Amino acid sequence: MADTADVIVIGAGVQGSSLAFHLASRGAKVIVVERTVVAAGATGRSSGLVRVHYELLAEAKLAWAAQHWFRNWAERVGGECGFTVTGFLWIEPTRNRERLAANAAAHAALGVNASIVDADEIRRIAPMLAVGDEVAAYEPDSGYADPSMTAGSLIAAAKVRGTRLVQGAEVTAIHQAGGRVTGVSTTKGDFDAPAIVNAAGGWAKGVGDLAGMDLPIRVWRHDTGYLGVPASMPGRIPVVIDNPNGAYFRPEGSDMVLIGLEDDNQIGGSPDRDTSSARPDFELRAVERIVARMPAMIDGDFRTSHSGQDGLTPDQRAFLGPVGSAGPEGFYLDCGHSGTGFKTAPAIGLGMAELIVDGAATSVDISPFAYQRYLDGRPLVGEHGEEILWR
């Protein structure tokens, strides 16, 4: 006889763990099935940025709601998430000032401590940065968190509330009857529930296939490196999205910096391929770009690198909510986060839990991310214009 639940969540990354926590907090009986272990996929390779600045206001609203969770983690969730305030700079060429200022003003209207700073102020905030004819959106209260710690504390809190976590359980079938889902088969047995959530990250398309859907989600592969910071580095490194140089970086502990590059990411391929190392040319490219922005890093050293993979949608925004007429009733999507889903996970889990249990998300608005937008040909685009993030 199969085990039964109210909801089956497929995937124990930060999104699936957040959803399980919020569902269990609302009294739902939840089973989380994970093909390997908690945070083994995109979450474990995430850079963990916690900032609000997005070019799409709907995303900024989710990030702002989620930041309140990161700031009050022990009280709201329990355990630790490693949230560290460093300040955050989103740097653009001055020619993009109008768009950047419009975004920052929209975020400030939400209550975010956000403003626009010119080159001289960027240098004052972060004296280690080489700045030219550039401008930045600045969030002094933002920073980063530890992704694996975050997912681990969420799933631990979910388990305290009655959630069952089944690791090493790859889903092999999604069962349906009368046009709706009824349960799953896994390598560790069968589980029944009237609601199933695809939170499988880079494996989300394969899970969709099992439900008879052809989800437009490709595998996105991204390299990340860690460099030692020399003692000569002036000031404290903030979190930086460096659009002119196609990179982002943040401190890692007290003596390293993490860097990722926004261009030449691999799109497509298998989510099962090895991610233990970055591409052969990554080290040279990463060093060139971080030295261009932080000249003192010329005296640093390259420590290590690896790859991570997530699911990428056509507009590089998540699919959230029921699949509607495109698939079976009771099948929900919480996937396609396109490499930027860590910082929004606490809010998305809350909204999805409200949607599944109560029939509507009321604490946060996840409706713009409905799958129907893809079927209708309505990609999400920033209100003031934008550039594609992953190139």
Burial 170-188 (b: 16+ CB within 10 A, else e): ebeebbbeeeebbbbbbee
Q: Quick one: 128 and 232 in the same domain?
A: yes
Taking the C-alpha atoms of residue 384 and residue 92, their distance in angstroms, rounded to an integer, is 14
Q: Quick one: 90 and 213 in the same domain?
A: no
Token pair of 141 as six digits? 């209260």
pLDDT in tens, the chain (391 residues): 469 999 999 999 999 999 999 999 999 999 999 999 999 999 999 999 999 999 999 999 999 999 999 999 999 999 999 999 999 999 999 999 999 999 999 999 999 999 999 999 999 999 999 999 999 999 999 999 999 999 999 999 999 999 999 999 999 999 999 999 999 999 999 999 999 999 999 999 999 999 999 999 999 999 999 999 999 899 999 999 999 999 999 999 889 999 999 888 899 999 999 999 999 999 999 999 999 999 999 999 999 999 999 999 999 999 999 999 999 999 999 999 999 999 999 999 999 999 999 999 999 999 999 999 999 999 999 888 777 665 5
Token pair of 268 as six digits? 């497509």
Q: Quick one: 132 and 240 in the same domain?
A: yes
Taking the C-alpha atoms of residue 166 and residue 57, their distance in angstroms, rounded to an integer, is 36
CATH of the domain at 347: 3.50.50.60
Taking the C-alpha atoms of residue 103 and residue 128, their distance in angstroms, rounded to an integer, is 26
Burial 92-101 (b: 16+ CB within 10 A, else e): beeebeebbe
Q: Quick one: 354 and 212 in the same domain?
A: yes
Residue that is last in its domain, among 256, 278, 307: 307
Residue 115 belongs to what domain range? Answer: 84-141+219-307
Domains contained in the chain, number:
2
Contact 228, 311 (CB under 8 A): no
Q: Is residue 30 part of a domain?
A: yes
Q: Quick one: 300 and 345 in the same domain?
A: no
Q: Quick one: 241 and 299 in the same domain?
A: yes
Q: Quick one: 324 and 191 in the same domain?
A: yes
